[in-house]
Amino acid sequence: MPDHPDGPIQQRRRRQGYQDELNSPEPANGQKSRPEALATSLESISVQPRTPRARAWGEDEQMDEVELSLLDKSGQEDADDMGEKGVKRPMSTRDRRAIVLLIILYLIQGFPVSPSVRSLPFLLREHLSYSQLATFSLASYPYSLKLFWSPIVDAVYTPKLGRRKSWIIPMQFLVGSIMMILSFSADKMVQNPAEYINVLTAAFTTLVVLSATQGWALTLLSEENLSYASTCQTIGLNTGYLLSYTVFLALNSEAFAKKWGIPRLELSAYLVFCSMISFIITVWLLFEKEDEDEDVNMSIRSAYKTMWDICRLKHVQTLLTVHLFAKIAFQAHDAVTSLKMVEKGLGREDMAVAVLIEFPFSILGGWLAGRWSQGDRPLDAWIKSYWPRLILTLASTLTVYYFPRPPISFLFFVLIIIETVAASFAATIQFGGMAAFHTRVSDPVVGGTYMTLFATFSNLGGTWPRYFVLKGVDFFSVASCQIGEDLAVQATECVSDHGKAACAELGGQCVTDRDGYYTVSGICLALGLLSVVFYMIPTARKLQAIPPSRWRVFS
């Protein structure tokens, strides 16, 4: 007669087997193994009572639970992996340190870039025409040239320093050296920019070229925190812009210096400061360890072939096309609106205050963009911020049109601040969303090439129209030299020192009859609106639906 399934004999056997398992030696790794329940009959499953003396199996000895599993070992591992993916882990110390380093790298990148794009045009505006400012705007174009040497960055490096540090360290040293040399004659050139416009353009073009290296974001951050690379870029670049634009313009203003009783900050002194910061960061990077990339022994020729293979992907070509034309609507606003406000009587220090107030909102926008861009739809933030930017661009143009005679009222100044902050916030959200998308689809094996390719066309979309926008302002403007009450002579322009002086020699006063800024703004807004409705937004939604694996050529 067989034993009863749950009789005294079977119970004693189960208790003896349980004691044998508890007394069995631990594995070599020192961890207790979890018993695997492979039985197919519920009659053979024994559930031990939960008592203070009966401790549960598992690595966590404080857990007073009994786990039943009908999975084999591989099934249990798969279930554990799924559980780990569903839990959001806290950011590691390594990633926190990497974020600090990335912010600093982007900060020192903003030192030479901001003067060439934002600060110096304000200093040169009263001495140059918009056509001459268009020549200086060419200094920002090298962000588009880094596409041609980024494969060299991926292929040629010193193993002792690392793939990225082999280029970042010498370039930052050269940036500091050039700014130090430039500081000796910067003030003289700014006072007479028409004579030195080519020298200034060449010097800042070189600085921008040397500062254009990117790509460390992929190797510094872990995969689950890659979306924060765009946040680091936003915070770092905006901090660099804050120092090189807001702080410098305010301290460089004679009115600001007299009001607060402080010495005026000259351009030469600021260049020395930026130079010293670059040298200090360069020395620090020498002692910062760089994680090794996956072992890809790639020659320069194969690196360029890889870049070509990336460009041959149809969806990559579509993304690059989006970048080239995505910023058309905002070109007149970004390049001319602030200059026009200063021309109409807004003080440089007032503009600096507006940008200073804007700064924390830009940081907040970068942080929000990093959070909103996590997951499979990072471009949603980019898409949703498009319409507010278009509305704010139109509002800024109308603000310039209805700009009152100085001194401006406090309420009007508050209006300018609100428009500036809101436009910057929307632009930061767009930037962060697109940068997170770049990081998501880039192949980490050749991350520098991917990131540089995308950043190149993104920056090119914001720079290539600028030259033509500034030229267009003068082209569509109509100016005259009013001599007396009845005689008017046609003038080329009434913005630069040369145009005003030419009219003054005739004994007249230079007057702008039609401002080409409004014509250029209307053209940009019309083209931007059409492109957004019929191309940009529908295309962006299609692009983010493509799996990341289809964007990659290696991994």
Over residues 121-137, the pLDDT tens digits come to: 888 888 888 988 999 99
Supply the range of the domain harboring residue 230.
92-295
Instruction: Note whether 371 and 305 are same-domain residues.
Output: yes
Question: What percent of the chain has a predicted confidence (pLDDT) above 90?
Answer: 27
Name beta bridge partners: 174.
none
The whole-number average pLDDT for the span 215-239 is 73
Cβ neighbour number for residue 260 with a 10 Å cutoff = 10
C-alpha closest to that of 163 among 295, 54, 305, 313? 295
Whether the predicted pLDDT of 374 surpasses 80: no
Instruction: Note whether 117 and 130 are same-domain residues.
Output: yes
Instruction: Note whether 200 and 335 are same-domain residues.
Output: no
Backbone φ and ψ for 65, nearest 5 degrees, come out as -135, 155
Token pair 């030479």: residue? 112
Whether the predicted pLDDT of 84 surpasses 50: no
| pLDDT score for 414 | 93
* Cα separation values, 352 from 103, 118, 244, 530, 534, Å: 22, 11, 11, 33, 37
Here the tokens at position 138 are 């060419």
Low-confidence winner among 55-69, 186-200, 352-366 (lowest mean pLDDT) = 55-69
| pLDDT score for 18 | 43
The whole-number average pLDDT for the span 513-525 is 94
Instruction: Note whether 286 and 305 are same-domain residues.
Output: no
Per DSSP bridges, beta strands 509-514 and 487-491 are unpaired
Q: Is residue 483 part of a domain?
A: no
Question: What percent of the chain has a predicted confidence (pLDDT) above 70?
Answer: 77
43 band by pLDDT with thresholds 50, 70 and 90: very low
Here the tokens at position 380 are 């949603």
What value does the mean pLDDT of the chain take? Answer: 78
The secondary structure of residue 445, as a DSSP letter, is G
| pLDDT score for 293 | 55
Instruction: Note whether 184 and 281 are same-domain residues.
Output: yes
55 band by pLDDT with thresholds 50, 70 and 90: very low
159 band by pLDDT with thresholds 50, 70 and 90: confident
Q: Is residue 115 part of a domain?
A: yes
Q: Is residue 388 part of a domain?
A: yes
Instruction: Note whether 547 and 420 are same-domain residues.
Output: yes
Instruction: Note whether 249 and 330 are same-domain residues.
Output: no
Instruction: Note whether 306 and 403 are same-domain residues.
Output: yes
Q: Residues for the chain: how many in total?
A: 555
Here the tokens at position 374 are 């996590």
The whole-number average pLDDT for the span 325-329 is 94
- Identify the CATH number of the domain in which residue 159 sits: 1.20.1250.20
Instruction: Note whether 197 and 253 are same-domain residues.
Output: yes
Instruction: Note whether 290 and 304 are same-domain residues.
Output: no
Cβ contact 229:221 at 8 Å: yes
C-alpha closest to that of 179 among 96, 82, 25, 282? 282
The whole-number average pLDDT for the span 139-167 is 76
Cβ contact 452:438 at 8 Å: no
Q: Is residue 530 part of a domain?
A: yes
217 band by pLDDT with thresholds 50, 70 and 90: low
Q: Is residue 505 part of a domain?
A: no
Domains in the chain, number: 2
| pLDDT score for 33 | 43
Higher per-residue confidence, 187 vs 163: 187
Q: Is residue 117 part of a domain?
A: yes
| pLDDT score for 468 | 95
Which of 266, 295, 324 is the C-terminal boundary of a domain? Answer: 295
pTM, whole model, 2 decimals?
A: 0.73
| pLDDT score for 39 | 40
Between the CA atoms of 265, 268, 270 and 272, what dihedral angle is there, to the nearest 10 degrees?
A: -140
Which of 249, 276, 295 is the C-terminal boundary of a domain? Answer: 295
Instruction: Note whether 216 and 321 are same-domain residues.
Output: no
| pLDDT score for 497 | 67
Q: Is residue 140 part of a domain?
A: yes
Higher per-residue confidence, 132 vs 220: 132
Instruction: Note whether 204 and 311 are same-domain residues.
Output: no
The whole-number average pLDDT for the span 101-109 is 84
- Identify the CATH number of the domain in which residue 527 sits: 1.20.1250
| pLDDT score for 511 | 81
The whole-number average pLDDT for the span 313-332 is 95
| pLDDT score for 169 | 87
Low-confidence winner among 54-58, 252-256, 483-487 (lowest mean pLDDT) = 54-58
Whether the predicted pLDDT of 76 surpasses 50: no
Q: Is residue 440 part of a domain?
A: yes
Q: Which of 4-8, 76-80, 294-298, 407-411 has the highest mean pLDDT?
A: 407-411
Backbone φ and ψ for 491, nearest 5 degrees, come out as -120, 155
Which of 295, 316, 336 is the C-terminal boundary of a domain? Answer: 295
C-alpha closest to that of 336 among 133, 197, 115? 133
Whether the predicted pLDDT of 188 surpasses 70: yes
Whether the predicted pLDDT of 435 surpasses 70: yes
Whether the predicted pLDDT of 194 surpasses 50: yes
309-312's contacts with Cβ under 8 Å and 24+ in sequence apart are 309/553, 310/446, 310/449, 310/450, 310/453, 310/553, 311/453
The whole-number average pLDDT for the span 410-421 is 93
* C-alpha triplet 473, 199, 213: angle, nearest 5°: 85
444 band by pLDDT with thresholds 50, 70 and 90: confident
